[in-house]
Structure 1
Amino acid sequence: MIPQSLEASRLKSLQTLGVLCGFGAGAWLGAAEAPTKFVQAGVSPIVVSLLMVIGVFLARWSLPALIRGTGQIRLDVREAPHLIVWGVLAGCLWAVANTMTIFAIRDIGLSIAFPLWNINSLLGIFWGFALFNELRDAGRLRWVSVIGGALLMFAGATLLAFTSSGQMAAEHSTRGILAALCAGILWGTMYIPYRKAYLTGMNPLSFVAFFTIGELGMMTVLALSYGGGPSVLKHELLNARPALFWLMLGGFVWVIGDLFQQYAAKYVGISRGIPLSNSNQLWGLLWGILVFGELRGRGSWLHAQVIGGSLLMAAGAGAIALSTVRGKEHVRWDEAAQRERQRYDVDANYVQAGLEGKFKADGDSQSGRNWLDWLLVTLATTVFVWLAVLARAPKMTLNWNALIALCAVMLIFLACCGAALWKVTRFN
């Protein structure tokens, strides 16, 4: 049965919230990769990734400061200090994976690369089951949904890989496919720290603050080593000045999507939340085809293959996501949480409150903002305003009507997810 402190109605509310956040994550994560198209406009892939990570760093500290204040971060550090290391490790994995995606997009295009690296959801299912008791006691129907969905996603990825290899130079298509698949493997492994953090009770807003330290540190190392040293990197950054705003804005947009993904992973688990957020492949397809015209002039058969492969993967993700968590399975989640609690000697009330989407009795007061919070928000805002003034419109052919329509849908998701998070959990 469900633990007495978590009623069936509460579980249903958290499940609905997690599903909504998963779809919101897909919309925002799909849009965040659009600035990587600047790679084809002469900006180095490493510089693209570094600038996006700088934007991510600013967003990961300023948004939590604005939403709840850094007091929540201090509380989580006091309760579960071991998760700082896990957060930094996850950030390092993300930085390497994100760099891989830049090369993949350059070689095989956004609309094809997206579904390939979304094999991360398959790894998420595996790790969720193997390490965190997800899908245990879930019932036969839910197992069929998950396995069937995984097979559909694999079929879609295979179709897209075949399509790309048949349409581009062998060297470039193979390299792009390998880069996208490696990114998926790294991202799939990255979800282990996610789940450890949320079963232990940590607030997603706190976890991403530690996460971004690993991101920026690893990305800086990659940029310096790959680019040939500080002087070469400085020269490339100066040459990329017209694109600074757009690429850092891409990082900021990515953080909003990732925050929704974090909440989805917390409340429906990585075996369901990650496939849901991987609906970003369809948003990537829309951005690639409608806004950037990636497949313009190609044959109708190629269009059918790309769309068919993406729809197969989306159908698989939907089947997995709709296999909602029942009470018996949630009890197994609680067992995994207690195992984490005992391993790291974390306060039981803190862990239980996190599982319920609530704050520990003495933790809700940490939501106040202080001078440091407003300083972080002001600095981030100043940087983006300054870069916006210096920005230049990209010399690319864009469908502005499609761009505006997609942005409008993103804002609707932002409003709905934000309101639901506040109503149900107060952003815990």
Structure 2
Amino acid sequence: MSFELTLPASEVSRLRSLQALGILCGFAAGAWLGAAEAPTKLVTIGVSPLVISLIMVVGVFLARWSVPALIRGTSHIRADVRQAPHLIVWAVLAGCLWAVANTMTIFAIRDIGLSVAFPLWNTNSLLGILWGFVLFNELRQAGWTRWFGVLGGALAMFLGATLLAITSSSQGPAVHAMRGISAALGAGALWGTMYIPYRKAYITGMNPLSFIAFFTIGELGMMTSLAVTYTGGPSSLWRELVGAKEVLFWLMLGGFIWVIGDVFQQYAAKYVGISRGIPLSNSNQLWGLLWGILVFSELHGRGASLYLQVIGGSLLMMLGAGAIALSSATGKEQLRWKEAAEREGRRYGVPSDYVEARMAGRQIVGEPKPTRSLWDWSLVVTATGIFLIFATMARVPQMSLHWGPAVALSAAMLVLLVVCGFALWRTTRFN
């Protein structure tokens, strides 16, 4: 008998709603994560990759605390810490991995371009599938149809990445093409491993908004250490920051945009698992391609064959990701997820009612509703003020870009933000 048949009709309906919500979150994440990489094109006008990554992380840090404070308040963070304090360590570790991977993407974009680098580091979904299966019972008892979808999709993604790597090495700068490919693939490996703490947190009940608040402590600390070390010390880093003061706002804005996408990605990972949620959010590769080609004219003047290779490789990877994402979890597989959650709960002493309620997108019985305090509004006002200060110093970079496509892509992102945000609130109240 399937797992679904052992549940009341209301619970079966709830499960399907959460799966649909996770899929929607994955697509919304792709749009916003893709747009967040656009400011990294500033490397083409002489800004150090480490400065770009550091300032983006500063914007990320401000957003990861102010956005949760605005959505739900920070009282839920204290509640999550009381229930599962061990997850703080995992969140900080994930943040450290993210910081290193993000820095590698900046170098990759500089050496091989945004539209080619994106698909290469999006091989992170392959590792996500592996870790989901090995550690969290994803795809266990999923059936041959879904296994075929996942494995076939993984093969398509690999072939697409290979095509793009060949394109880059033959058409990109001869000296740095392989370095860029290595950086992009290395970022993918780190991000793929980073999803272990994600899933570990969510199957034991931590709210995604709580997770990212501690996650950002690790990423800011690691990124600051990298920047100070590789720029030659604090004084050298300060000189680079002062020299780039007119573009710091745009980089911080990129970090803020990234956080919006990452929030959606976190909810996708929670409700459809990392083996499906991550490939869905990797639709950011297509959005990155659109920003790179339409807004920044990245492949302008190249031959038609190069366009066909880049677009063909990207679409092949997207088809693979789609096949994986559409292989939705069956009732039997959901039962194996529950077993993994119970195992993690026993390991760390997390109450079972807390785990079950949070996996279903609900609060436990008797848990007070989250509220916004004066502290929460102070976080929002402070973060907004810092952004405004840097905005007064900002200048539009002197670089070639097309505003028409940029406005159209931004409008599409806002539509996804409203639709997905409303769906999250209506279905889970952002649990």
TM value normalised by structure 2: 0.98
SS where residue 176 of structure 2 aligns? helix
CA distance in structure 1 between the partners assigned to 2:175 and 2:368 by the alignment: 55
Matched, 1:357 2:361: yes
Equivalence for 1:12 = 16
Equivalence for 1:174 = 178
Equivalence for 1:321 = 325
Which of residues 361, 372, 395 in structure 1 aligns to 2:398?
395
Matched, 1:45 2:46: no
Q: Which amino acid aligns with 1:168?
A: G
Which of residues 108, 114, 121 in structure 1 aligns to 2:118?
114
SS where residue 175 of structure 2 aligns? helix
Partners of 1:24 and 1:277 within 8 A in 2 = yes
Structure 1 residues 379-390: aligned runs within 5 Å: 379-390=382-393
Equivalence for 2:168 = 164
SS where residue 7 of structure 1 aligns? helix
Shift of the alpha carbon at 1:384?
A: 1.0
Structure 1 residues 181-260: aligned runs within 5 Å: 181-260=185-264
The C-alpha deviation readout for 1:163-193, integer Å capped at 9, x for no partner, is: 0000123330000000000000000000000
Matched, 1:98 2:102: yes
The C-alpha deviation readout for 1:55-110, integer Å capped at 9, x for no partner, is: 00000000000000000000000000000000000000000000000000000000
Partners of 1:75 and 1:363 within 8 A in 2 = no
Which of residues 354, 363, 376 in structure 2 aligns to 1:373?
376
Paired residues in the alignment total: 427
CA distance in structure 2 between the partners assigned to 1:409 and 1:4 by the alignment: 38
CA distance in structure 2 between the partners assigned to 1:388 and 1:232 by the alignment: 24
Shift of the alpha carbon at 1:4?
A: 4.0
CA distance in structure 2 between the partners assigned to 1:169 and 1:113 by the alignment: 14
Q: Any stretches of 5+ residues in structure 1 without a counterpart?
A: none
Which of residues 142, 147, 151 in structure 1 aligns to 2:151?
147
Shift of the alpha carbon at 1:360?
A: 1.4
The C-alpha deviation readout for 1:376-410, integer Å capped at 9, x for no partner, is: 00001111112112210010111100000000000
Shift of the alpha carbon at 1:422?
A: 0.2
| Percent of matched pairs sharing the same residue | 70
Matched, 1:308 2:312: yes
Q: Any stretches of 5+ residues in structure 2 without a counterpart?
A: none
The C-alpha deviation readout for 1:252-280, integer Å capped at 9, x for no partner, is: 00000000000000000000000000000
Partners of 1:120 and 1:184 within 8 A in 2 = yes
SS where residue 319 of structure 1 aligns? helix
CA distance in structure 2 between the partners assigned to 1:4 and 1:329 by the alignment: 14
The C-alpha deviation readout for 1:205-246, integer Å capped at 9, x for no partner, is: 000000000000000000000110000000000011000110
TM value normalised by structure 1: 0.99
Matched, 1:342 2:346: yes
Equivalence for 2:413 = 410
Equivalence for 1:267 = 271
Greater shift after overlay, 2-11 or 296-305?
A: 2-11
- Report the aligned-residue RMSD: 0.9
Equivalence for 1:125 = 129
Partners of 2:112 and 2:173 within 8 A in 1 = no
The C-alpha deviation readout for 1:296-341, integer Å capped at 9, x for no partner, is: 0000000000000000000000000001111111000000000000
CA distance in structure 2 between the partners assigned to 1:333 and 1:232 by the alignment: 49
